[in-house]
């Protein structure tokens, strides 16, 4: 095994020299010594030290060496392993090859061969049951500007409140076309509210879920119908055992079209005999909730206790 390992290390060094000799390296980004150790010589950064280990902003992760897009922020999850973890890649951005140790599977950038880390399966962290364990120094993060996404990439934002935001987010993430979800607080009277502030019933905030979706795949009406079927829109200020104004049923529309569609759906339900109490309100500032609330059931690997799907349309 040691001989095999020495062989692969030597081969990597020779390939690195060859790239520089024939000019291929010139088209790639200049790397620091530490980046070269990981990306070229297949090293590993120390756990819990990487820039992106506990980093969860919206955007895309690109190869540090060639800038090729590798991962989306919505595929990143908290694994607790000490390195950034993703359960999916962008297209065929990553190649899998047997590792020199004979036990693991290495992942490299499909565009330039840069070492990223390793891939593991069967750990049951997410529904995809896959973990791309990636070194932070192998990537560069590029933030996603929501305004540009909406105008150029045909994405749209929708915000819903319908009981505990854990359960609403759980079901919304299952919809095809949903790019990302974020739980937080909206509709209140103070800045930077905390969970304790919201639970005091003195701030007017609702627990809500902000959804960014690809309108080429899913339209707002489809998502709104799901919202009306995963909670009971006839319950005033409570869902299941959760009682309080923060659990109210409310749609915070971000466009005039969303308002029209929501009102249309409410009228359809009313004609069917449902006494809908759902409010329809223009969206105001959405305050992101604490980290431990984000994708709660996704990481706990359980299902909601106060939400379920009931066919209403």
**SS3 (DSSP) at 134:** strand
Q: Whole-structure pTM over 0.75, yes or no?
A: no
Q: Which positions are annotated as active-site residues?
A: 133, 164
Residue 189 has pLDDT above 80, yes or no: yes
Residue 308 within a domain: no
Domain boundary (108, 143, 178) is at: 143
- pLDDT value of position 110: 83
What CATH number is given to the structural domain containing 68? 2.170.150.20
Domain boundary (112, 143, 174) is at: 143
Residues 215 and 121 placed together within one structural domain of the fold: no
Cα separation of 112 and 115, whole Å? 9
Residue 306 within a domain: no
Are the CB atoms for 237 and 243 separated by under 8 Å?
yes
**What domain range includes position 228?**
147-300
- pLDDT value of position 23: 42
Cα separation of 212 and 59, whole Å? 12
Q: How confident is the model at residue 5 (pLDDT cuts 50, 70, 90)?
A: very low
Give the count of domains, the chain.
2
Query: Which region holds residue 67: left if phi is over 0, alpha if psi is between -120 and 50, else beta?
Result: left
Domain boundary (96, 124, 143) is at: 143
Give me the percent of the chain exceeding a pLDDT of 90: 66
Residues 15 and 82 placed together within one structural domain of the fold: yes
Closest by CA to 72, choosing from 142, 130, 155, is: 142
What CATH number is given to the structural domain containing 247? 3.30.1060.10
Cα separation of 243 and 259, whole Å? 26
Q: Is 26 exposed, middle or buried (0-12, 13-18, 19+ CB in 10 A)?
A: exposed
Q: What is the pLDDT of residues 44-64, one digit of tens each?
A: 999 999 999 999 998 999 999
Residues 151 and 221 placed together within one structural domain of the fold: yes
**What mean pLDDT comes out for the span 76-89?**
94
Please name every residue paired with 120 in a beta bridge, in sequence order, or none if there are none: 131
Residues 176 and 289 placed together within one structural domain of the fold: yes
């Amino acid at each position: 095994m040691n001989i095999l390992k020495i062989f692969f290390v030597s081969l990597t060094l020779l390939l690195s020299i060859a790239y520089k000799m024939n000019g291929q390296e010139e088209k790639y980004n200049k790397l620091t010594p530490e980046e070269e150790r990981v990306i070229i010589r297949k090293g590993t950064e120390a756990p819990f030290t990487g820039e992106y280990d506990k980093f969860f902003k919206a955007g895309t992760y690109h190869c540090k060496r060639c800038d090729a897009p590798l991962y989306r922020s919505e595929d990143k999850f908290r694994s607790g392993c000490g390195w950034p973890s993703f359960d999916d890649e962008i297209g065929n951005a990553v190649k899998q090859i047997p590792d020199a140790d004979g036990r693991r599977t290495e992942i490299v950038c499909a565009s330039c061969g840069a070492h990223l880390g390793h891939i593991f399966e069967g750990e049951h962290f997410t529904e995809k049951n896959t973990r791309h364990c990636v070194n932070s120094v192998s990537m560069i993060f590029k933030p996603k500007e929501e305004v540009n996404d909406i105008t150029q990439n045909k994405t749209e934002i929708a915000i819903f409140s319908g009981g505990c935001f854990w359960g609403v987010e759980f079901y919304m993430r299952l919809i095809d076309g949903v790019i990302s979800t974020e739980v937080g607080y909206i509709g209140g009277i103070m800045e930077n509210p905390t969970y304790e502030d919201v639970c005091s019933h003195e701030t007017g905030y609702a627990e809500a879920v902000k959804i960014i979706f690809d309108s080429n795949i899913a339209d707002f009406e489809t998502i709104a119908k799901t919202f009306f079927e995963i909670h009971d829109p006839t319950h005033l200020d409570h869902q299941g055992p959760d009682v309080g104004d923060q659990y109210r049923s409310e749609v915070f529309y971000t466009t005039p079209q969303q308002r029209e569609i929501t009102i249309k759906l409410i009228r359809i339900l009313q004609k069917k005999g449902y006494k809908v109490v759902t409010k329809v309100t223009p969206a105001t500032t959405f305050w992101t909730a604490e980290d431990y609330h984000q994708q709660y059931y996704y990481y706990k690997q359980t299902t909601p206790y106060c939400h379920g799907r009931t066919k209403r349309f």
